[in-house]
Each structure stands twice: as structure tokens, then as C-alpha cells.
Chains A and B, each alone.
Chain A
Amino acid sequence: MMRTKLISELRPRRELASSIIRGKMMTGNVAAAWAARLAEVDYIPAYPITPQTEIIEVLSHWIALGEMKARLTILDSEHSMLTAAGTGSLAGARVFTATSSQGLLYGFEMLYNIAGWRAPIILVNVSRAVAAPITLEPDHNDFLSTRDTGFILLQAETCQEVLDLILLAYRVSEDRRVLLPSIVNLDGFHLSFTREPVKTPSIEEVRSFLPRYAPPYPFRASTPSTKGTPVLRPPLYSFFKYQMYLSSLNAVKVFKEACDEFEAYFARRYDVVEKYMLDDAEYVLVMMGSFASIGKKAVKIMREEGFSVGLLKLRMIRPFPRQDVRRALEGKRAVAVIDQNIAPGLGGILYPEICSVLYNVVNKPKIILPVIGGVGGKTISIDEIRYVVELMKKYEIGGEPEPVLLFREDELREVKSLLRIGVGE
């Protein structure tokens, strides 16, 4: 079983048993670092940015102590960091890296390249809303901006999920049927700096769940090759991109297979979506990430009050698990998509994706309500979720819903008083 130096040195043996069964208190960032450590990554190109920095600090600390063998290099920007990550992977290394928000956007063009090279790196993004205005708190605009890059996108709700999804992501990304990089997203503060018990599997178990990466055609001086070739004939470009699309679709099946094995090894069950009190629910909230925990709580409370409410949590965003989402939502009376992001001129990013899955379904929900909530880390209260359920019922009778922003009276008061300070009005 688990016996890493860090824990065995710090804790007496009696307590070790309990930490195996009940886990150990750690932040989402530390859980991410643990996943990289357990996956025995070879190479970690890095660049610091809040709220991701702790991941790199922990990893470099372990490397300094000799507990981890990886090579960690600080690059001069996220653009260089991602370039190093992709090329390191092409050379055959298992690569881990992490960033946030502006950093992700700064390296953005390389995301398309890494996916195009078919380099299966894992990039952890610690969500933080994008400037301007500047904030450190999370929403999913940074993460979701990568939705067309070719990366597999996975979103964690808990610190345990952070660790587990990274291990699963390596399995899926490195599978020859997929061979695409992944982003595992965790919300800044609400996961990155939140501590909760996390079970760390033993390195032996992880080794057999996740064998060493066997790159298909690694860069070698002895076998020269050209990667990321220019294709000056348009049909070639279409062909390669479409094949990338088809490979990304394979990730649904490959992820499910990996989840079955994961459960056999580690006794935790995952799927591309998670249903919470959903099967018999008439009204459904669609959410993702750490705020889904708040959604679940609200569902539980409303259930006790007699409302037929359930929640669908999206765990895999790309490929978009169309079938699973459709099956979960068809036949429901109404669905509300709570987008923790904002697309100016449109509403939320996930809303049209959910609608597109349901449009051709015979028994589709009568109403699909677009909701924007939690942007820039704005909290969501149980009452706001209750309001969403009331809106679903209202529109079920008639009317065409426009995107609604979840915003409370106390918040508007606060904004007004801050405006008085800031602009004197």
C-alpha cells in the first residue's frame, strides 16, 4: 500500500492506516501535484501564475528532496512552457504542466499545435476569470476558450477528482485510439486552495493502471522525422483535422473503459457525466465544477421540500458526451443550464451545446433555460438555485427565456457602495 516518504516520515504508523482509508487533507493543487508524482511524469515545464503556483512549488520541492525523478524547468513564459511541453512529449516524455487564466491565453496558439502534433500532455488549468477587470477568482471562461483546440477537457468538482481525473486523463490521452492532450480543470480557490481528504493510491497500483508512456513515433536522432508538417494542399489539412475530430470522439469510449478499470483498482466510480438525484427528477440543473457541490446541496434541500429536482454534472466537456447528455435529459420537463462563464453577445457557452444535443430528440424538455452564475467567483446561494427552479416552472407555462444572471440584492447593494467609492456616483 501507499508508502511515500513524505507521509511515512511525518506520521506514526497507526495514523498511516487511517490516512489510507480516509485520505489525507490536501488542497486541489497538492492533489494535482500528487497525480503528477504518481503518474511518474518525466518532464514538467513550468511558469508561475496565481492560483496555480502551489502545484509547481510542491513538485519542485519533491524533486529537490529526491522523492520525484522528473525534470522541472522554469521557462520564460507560458508560450515557451507549452512549446516545451508539446515537444517534450514528441520526444517521448510523459509531460505534466499547469497554468491559469491569462497564462493559458498567453500560450494559447500552442494548444492547437500540441493537439495537432498529437502530443498527449496533461495540462492542469486552475480556473481564474480572465481580465479585464482583473480578479483571482474563478469562472470557466479560460478553460472553455480551449474547447476547439483538440484537447480532451475534464472538469473536477472535488480535490479527490482532481487527482483521479489526472490519472484517467493520462490513460485516455496516451491511448492510441485518442492520442490527444488533455486539460484537467480545477476551480481556483474553491478547489485549488480548498483542503479536503484525498486518498492517494500506491505507486505500484498506479503503475499497473497507468503503464509507462510508449510514444508511437518519438523524436530520435537515429530516426529523423518532421513533426507538425506544413500541408499546403487543403484536402490534407481537412483530412488531418477531421481525423483528429474522430479520435477525440473515441475519448468517450476510452474514458469509460478506463473508468471501469479505475474502479477495479481504486474503488471510485467515474463517468463522463454525473447524475445527482436525476433519474426521477422532472426539473434538472446542468452544472460543472466545484459549484456543482452547491447545486447538489440545493437539490437535496428542494427534494426534502417536495420539488422533483435533479442535477446533471458535466465532467467531460470535450469530446462533448452527446449521447450521455441526451439520455440524461430527454423526457425531462425543464432543464436549466447554469453557465459559470459569460459569452458577450450570446449568453453562456454550454447552453447552446446542451440545446444542440436535445434539438432532434422527440421527447425533449419543453424549456431549456439559459442561466449565468458564478462568473468571476461570485458565490451562488441556495436561494439563487431555488430561483432558477421557479423560473423553469414559469417558462414551462409560456414565454421565451433570455439568459438570466444570478445576482442578489445584497450583492447589488455592495456593488453600488463600491461604485460610490470608485467613481463617486
Chain B
Amino acid sequence: MLIYARFHGRGGQGVKTASRILGNAAHLEGYYTQDFPIYGAERRGAPVVAFTRISHEPLPLSERGYIFNPNLILVADESLLSDPLVNPLSGLQSGGALFINSSKPADKIRIDRDDVTVVVEDLIDLSLKYVRKTVLSTGLGAVAAKLTGLIRWVSLEEGVKEELIEIGVKGEMLEKNILFAKVCFEKVHPVSLPSPKLGEPMKIVEVSWMPTNLTIPEIRKVGNTRVRKTGNWRIFKPTINHERCTKCGICVIYCPEGVITMMDDEPEIDYDNCKGCLICFNECPVKAFNYVREVEAA
């Protein structure tokens, strides 16, 4: 029996800790496990991938690194489903399971696969309720542990404790997280997962010299940031009460993304690229800002 779990999320959502909670819980349960994250520049919002391997036999030494053929995928941010650079469903085994954190019901989420079990929960909602934060690590780790059907609550609870204490969570916050984990653990049910198979053989190609105009590592095409809508991982959406606004322009200056502009003397937000940091909300001197939970991905 092998679990190949792959977690997809964005920096700050707790995907790495989730994979560690799953890894440690399985380890405490007596399985052989390995967990591993991979990320680019460390910033909130950047795509992050993490992996957990679980086996009842010692993991062969040749197991390491990226999992190409997972039988369990956990997506912490629904907006990643349509991100071609992340492609979170790639390699998912037929008969495997896919968990998606979303505020939408399962039938409203477009998934191009009908041979996998899809589980959807609104973990942000639960996290806000139990922890008063939008960090998902504990809930996501608990969901993953339950879906495998291998891990008892005692092991998960211990795993959550160890992992959170290691990153400095303690006291009341730790208790809240354990409660959050418990709720998530009880919400979902184990799924039977196929053993991972090797994918189609990959073809090896020969790379030959190409003209230098193609091979200098630089970006010369201008304006291509427009195709990357960085607003799609926003959790809270700022709104402006234009009646209260005095048009002072302070929010325009403070917005770190530069996405508030004065249009016809009124501040206006470009929601395609607003990341939902709520600095505008904090800085507006007349409290003209409000915010709502983002339920539909931008």
C-alpha cells in the first residue's frame, strides 16, 4: 500500500505544514513516510507544492522528490485549478481522490476528470470559525489524513501538536487548531485509493544549439504581466463606500500593488490584480473601506 499525496496551494496557506502534519501523523501511526515541499521565491500567493509519501514498508531509497503520479491530490486554493503553470491535476491516478478547498458546491467546480473521487469543503470558512485565521495547514492536513483511511485521530492529534509547536504555535491557538483539525477530520470520509502506477514512458530528446536571441535568459516582451491576474488568490475583497470617501488618495499611495487609481476623481480598484491584503482598509482615514469574503474566484 502506498499513498502518494500531493498538495497544491499558495504561499501563506500552510500547504507545507499540511504535508508535514500528514507525514508526521502517518509516521506516528507506524508507517514509513517522507514529506517534502517545493517553492519558488518565498512570498505570499506564489504557488507552492508539497508531497507526502506513505508506505507500510520502508520506502525504497529511489523514492525522492516530485510525485508525478499521485493517488491523492489536495488543492488548497480553487483558483489554482485553472492555472496552466501549476496544472494541479497532472498525473492523478485513475480512481484517485481530489480534495478541493472551495466555497462553491462540488457541482459548480469544473473538473475535467470523471474517473476520480472529488471531495469539496470550505476550509476557509471553518478556519475563520475555529481559528479566526485564513491559514489552512491544520485543516488540510486533517482532511488528508482522514481521506487515506490509515490514520487514527490520536496519531493525527499528536502530529498536529508536534508540527505546530515546532513552528511556534502554542496555548490557546494550539487548542483552537486541534479543534479545527478535529472538525475537519470528522467532516470527510476515507476513500479507497488505487496503488500508484508508473505513467506513460517519457520520450527523451536531444537539445541542440539555438540562436542566442532565444537563449538569453531575459524577458523582452513587454506588457505580459497583464495576462497574469494576480487577484485570483484573494481571500478578502476590499470595497469602497464612495459616499464616505473624501477622495484624499491615501489608499492610492498605500496600495502595494498599485491597483487603486483615481478615475474621475474617485478611487477605483482593479480587482484583476488586487491581492486582498487590506492595507487600503487599514489606511483609509475615514474608514470608507469595507471587505467581504471572496467566494467566487476572480
Q: Which residues of A contact B (CB under 8 A)?
A: 116-118, 176-177, 179, 216-217, 223-233, 236, 239-240, 242-244, 246-247, 249-250
What is the bound-complex CA distance between A250 and B208, given in angstroms?
Answer: 12
Does B199 have its Cβ within 8 Å of any Cβ on chain A? no
How far, in Å, is B207 (CB) from chain A's closest CB? 6
22 CB < 8 A contacts A-B: A117-B216, A117-B217, A118-B212, A118-B215, A176-B211, A177-B212, A179-B216, A217-B216, A217-B220, A223-B222, A224-B222, A225-B219, A226-B218, A228-B217, A228-B218, A230-B40, A231-B217, A240-B215, A243-B210, A243-B215, A246-B207, A249-B209
Residues of A within 8 A of B41 (CB): 230, 232
Residues of A within 8 A of B212 (CB): 118, 176-177, 179, 216, 247
Contact B209–A240 (Cβ < 8 Å): no
Does B213 have its Cβ within 8 Å of any Cβ on chain A? yes
Residues of A within 8 A of B222 (CB): 223-225
Residues of A within 8 A of B209 (CB): 243, 246-247, 249-250
Residues of B within 8 A of A242 (CB): 207
What is the bound-complex CA distance between A228 and B207, given in angstroms?
Answer: 22
Apart from A216-B213, A230-B40, A240-B215: 10 A-B pairs, beta carbons within 8 A = A117-B217, A118-B212, A217-B213, A227-B218, A231-B217, A233-B85, A244-B215, A246-B207, A246-B208, A250-B209
Residues of B within 8 A of A249 (CB): 209
What is the bound-complex CA distance between A223 and B217, given in angstroms?
Answer: 16
Mask of B63-81 contacts with A, CB within 8 angstroms, 1/0 = 0000000000000000000
The listed residue with most A CB atoms (<10 A of its CB), out of B41, B209, B216, B219, is: B216
Residues of A within 8 A of B210 (CB): 243
Contact A226–B219 (Cβ < 8 Å): yes
What is the bound-complex CA distance between A173 and B185, given in angstroms?
Answer: 62
Instruction: Count contacts on B: residues with CB < 8 A to the other chain.
Output: 18
How far, in Å, is A253 (CB) from chain B's closest CB? 11
Q: Name the CB-closest residue of B to A178.
A: B212
Q: Name the CB-closest residue of B to A90.
A: B218
What is the bound-complex CA distance between A250 and B214, given in angstroms?
Answer: 16
What is the bound-complex CA distance between A190 and B33, given in angstroms?
Answer: 61
Contact A225–B218 (Cβ < 8 Å): yes
How far, in Å, is B218 (CB) from chain A's closest CB? 5
What is the bound-complex CA distance between A217 and B212, given in angstroms?
Answer: 11
What is the bound-complex CA distance between A243 and B216, given in angstroms?
Answer: 9
Contact B217–A229 (Cβ < 8 Å): yes
How far, in Å, is A17 (CB) from chain B's closest CB? 44
Partner of B207 from the list A225, A232, A239 (CB cut-off 8 Å) is A239
Q: Which 9 A-B pairs have the closest CB atoms?
A: A232-B40, A243-B215, A246-B209, A226-B219, A225-B220, A240-B217, A118-B216, A227-B218, A179-B212
Mask of B209-243 contacts with A, CB within 8 angstroms, 1/0 = 11111111111101000000000000000000000
Residues of B within 8 A of A176 (CB): 211-212
Q: Name the CB-closest residue of A to B208.
A: A246
Residues of A within 8 A of B207 (CB): 239, 242-243, 246
Contact A229–B213 (Cβ < 8 Å): no
What is the bound-complex CA distance between A240 and B210, given in angstroms?
Answer: 10
Q: Name the CB-closest residue of A to B210.
A: A243
For window 233-292 of chain B, which residues contact chain A by CB distance below 8 Å?
Answer: none
What is the bound-complex CA distance between A225 and B38, given in angstroms?
Answer: 28
The listed residue with most A CB atoms (<10 A of its CB), out of B41, B211, B212, is: B212
What is the bound-complex CA distance between A174 and B112, given in angstroms?
Answer: 50
What is the bound-complex CA distance between A39 and B288, given in angstroms?
Answer: 64
Residues of B within 8 A of A240 (CB): 215, 217
Residues of A within 8 A of B220 (CB): 217, 223, 225
Partner of B218 from the list A217, A232, A244, A250 (CB cut-off 8 Å) is A217
Residues of A within 8 A of B214 (CB): 243
What is the bound-complex CA distance between A223 and B85, given in angstroms?
Answer: 27
Residues of B within 8 A of A225 (CB): 218-220, 222
Contact A229–B215 (Cβ < 8 Å): no
Residues of A within 8 A of B208 (CB): 246
What is the bound-complex CA distance between A250 and B40, given in angstroms?
Answer: 33
What is the bound-complex CA distance between A236 and B40, given in angstroms?
Answer: 13
What is the bound-complex CA distance between A239 and B205, given in angstroms?
Answer: 12
Q: Name the CB-closest residue of B to A231.
A: B217
For window 171-209 of chain B, which residues contact chain A by CB distance below 8 Å?
Answer: 207-209
Contact A216–B217 (Cβ < 8 Å): no
Contact B40–A216 (Cβ < 8 Å): no
Q: Name the CB-closest residue of B to A177.
A: B212
Residues of A within 8 A of B215 (CB): 118, 239-240, 243-244, 247
Residues of A within 8 A of B40 (CB): 230, 232
What is the bound-complex CA distance between A336 and B217, given in angstroms?
Answer: 41
Q: Name the CB-closest residue of A to B47.
A: A232
Residues of B within 8 A of A250 (CB): 209
Mask of B84-102 contacts with A, CB within 8 angstroms, 1/0 = 0100000000000000000
